[in-house]
Structure 1
Amino acid sequence: MSDLAALADRLNFVALDNSALAQLRALRPLLMAEMPRLLDAFYAKIGAFPQTRAMFSGPAEAERAKAAQLQHWDRIARGGIDGAYIAAVKRIGAAHARIGLAPRWYIGGYSFIIEGLIGAILRERWPKSHRPFGLGGARPDPHQTAAEIAAVVKAALLDMDYSISVYIESSEAARMAVEARMRQTNAAVIAVVGDALGALAKGRLTHRIGDVMPPEYAGLRDDFNAAISQLHETVVAITGAAPESARARTRSARPRTISPAAPNNRPRGWSRPLPPSLKSPSRCIARPRPQNGPETSSLKRKRTPTAAPRLWATPCRQWAGLKNRRRKSARSSASSMRSPFRPICSL
């Protein structure tokens, strides 16, 4: 709907028709004569309250606002409620929204203006003669006076309606702009933090958030950078100590065996000293059993080393096997020294 169509609907609803506009034109000299005094009292009242005084930077700005109000009411009193009126009232509502003038202060100020205009109309229409009405005094027309007051009140309320509507629309537009900026800012912050968390998930502990975040999120940036720095230092300390501990575990888990080339090694779990026969590997070499036959029965069997003993067996079994081998070797040596001939008869 266009602005003029909306204005026509408003005028039709409040019954501000051509007759009421004619009443305003007839009251224009009275209204414009009373308006400067009312505006002076109104802006003096504004200066008396801290909430409204803070909306003006100084007396010069208050004087400019007063001049704008006087010009605006002159247009209303001439009955010029048209497209130019809509543009003017929108500028006033936008100015109120810009300086933060709440509707309650605007409505209170208009009540002060309406009160003064109604009083001026009643003083003007009240009879000037002290004679009673029945003795030749001029009797005022109550219907005419009521119509004039109604026209002024309707014009003031229409102006108030437009100003507050524009104030609400401007405030809503400003709120939506702020929300759009906040959504844009939040999206940028979420993107930056998401990239940082993605780098952390990939193990890049050197990633830091730069000065790409808004100032209001500087605390979040500093906390994230401090946390990731602390995590990086902890991981470096742990990985630096890990090789030493791994080497220590490797040394402790290495199997301990006894080699024949190392005679002083002892089997695991043997706390007693090794016997002299086990200190030299050459004494612990197993010999093959002699073969039965005439060629080896009278000859001394040659002993050749073959394989190293199993030194990881139980020490007691090793010692017992060594004693048995020594006994067999002694018996074999004794039998080989006997004469192969037996005497037939004794001399």
Structure 2
Amino acid sequence: MKLIRKIVFPFVPVYYLITRLRNVLYDRGIKTATSYNFPVICVGNLSVGGTGKTPMIEYLINLLKDDYFVATLSRGYKRESEGFQLGDEQSIVETLGDEPFQFYNKFGNDILVAVDADRRNGIKQLQSLDKSPEVVLLDDAYQHRKVKAGFNILLSAYSNIYTKDWMLPTGNLREPRNGAKRANLIVITKCPDNLSEARKTHIIKAIKPEKNQEVFFSSIAYDTNVYSWNQSISLESFNDFTLVTGIANANTLVKYLKDKQRNFDHLDFDDHHNFTDHEILFLSTKSVILTTEKDFMRLKQYDVLKDKLYYLPIKTKIDRPEVFDKLILDFVQQ
């Protein structure tokens, strides 16, 4: 894979110019973006996958849901449905996609969960509901320039900060690094718990934030229990299992479980992987399976896995949470 990425390096300037031109057209108002008279918060990244958007959306939901009626709007990547879909009791992972389905399963009717590849149409459909949302959270829409969010949160994983990355197809960047200037907040995610203040300062200097931008650092907080459809077990007593992941980067989870001295083998699939019948049959031969909450949404429908399938929930833990929360709440209250 690394060799192929080096071979296709001549295409990097072409991709750079195309995405740069597109941004310039929007920045100068030549291409129009729709803005709204209610709070729209966008969570996204410059790179392809693996920056922790899902736990960040859940953090925002928990921050806002007690005081505001919140909606999440996602593309619904790899879903089998088309157009606008609103989560309800008949929804399945194939109609919403794994991450929106996770939101609906976790928060139920406390929020609205919608999917639409056309975010403008998605917001229009949400606005037309009898009980329309007071706040819309856009999941992975940083490059969806047709919508002008009132507040942008840009995520970048600590293991591959965008300042050191290259454009596709050699690197992982979807657009040039200066796209970060559109963000109100920049969050370096998946940081080690012992990240020093000196290291934070070094990263901030490399980012060179604008005067109106704040930089935060977040880490993953793992639950102390693993969960199945009907029970929970302490992670300390959970051992000798098969770890099944279909996420962009499982390295952080693997390291955590190894540090906890858990004994396991690891089956690593592509992000948003659609499991085949053959793969499900193979997984059914395993005694105990641990997976991510997102993958659990896809796998829990299979009866042959029902009594052996568990997931480990995660949350986002942000440094200076009182400052972070205030910036979000101030925007929404305005």
Q: TM-score interval w.r.t. the shorter chain?
A: under 0.3
Q: Which has the larger radius of gyration?
A: 1
Higher helix share: 1
TM-score, normalised to structure 1's length? 0.20
Higher relative contact order structure (alpha carbons within 8 Å, sequence separation ≥ 6): 2
